[in-house]
Amino acid sequence: MSLGTTLRVTKQRQVLLDELSKVRTHPTADELYQMVRKRLPRISLGTVYRNLELMAENGMIQKLEVGGTQKRFDGNAAPHYHIRCQKCGRVDDLSLPLAHDVERQAREYTDFTILRHNLEFSGFCPDCQESKGRR
């Protein structure tokens, strides 16, 4: 699907959007499936996957993909940065101002037209730091 086309907001998509915008945890498709099932008991995991992919392609939500980990989804479609815990996989928003400079600098190194950039930090979340200290 090309960018800019409008995706019809079905009941299922609306419920997915609602549930996704309630949390800041960047849930996986499986977690979202458990969440929406309370309101749409007959929805299938496949339908949840398909709709999430379509909504991400359409720019209604964001898909966070890091090699070797489960995809996570974000109801906040505006560009922002993330930080991921290397131990438990928790993903938080990081409210660092967007580095527009990076894109300007990157243009000097490529002939590509740059549309956006993703930046993800990793480390240990407060809970995992604590459990490390207790050992």
Q: Which residues bind Zn ion (CB under 5 A)?
A: 74, 85, 87-88, 90, 93, 125, 128
Least distance CB 75 / Zn ion (angstroms)? 8
Least distance CB 6 / Zn ion (angstroms)? 23
Residue 39 or residue 90: which is nearer to Zn ion going by CB?
90
Residue 36 or residue 91: which is nearer to Zn ion going by CB?
91
Residue 41 or residue 126: which is nearer to Zn ion going by CB?
126
Query: Nearest CA to 117 among 135, 132, 104, 131?
Result: 104
Residue 43 or residue 85: which is nearer to Zn ion going by CB?
85
b/e 88-127 (16+ beta carbons within 10 angstroms → b): eebbbeeeeeeeeeeeeeeeeeeeeeeeeeeeeeeeebee
Least distance CB 120 / Zn ion (angstroms)? 10
Least distance CB 131 / Zn ion (angstroms)? 8
Name residues whose C-beta falls within 8 Å of residue 101's C-beta, 6 or more positions apart in sequence. Answer: none
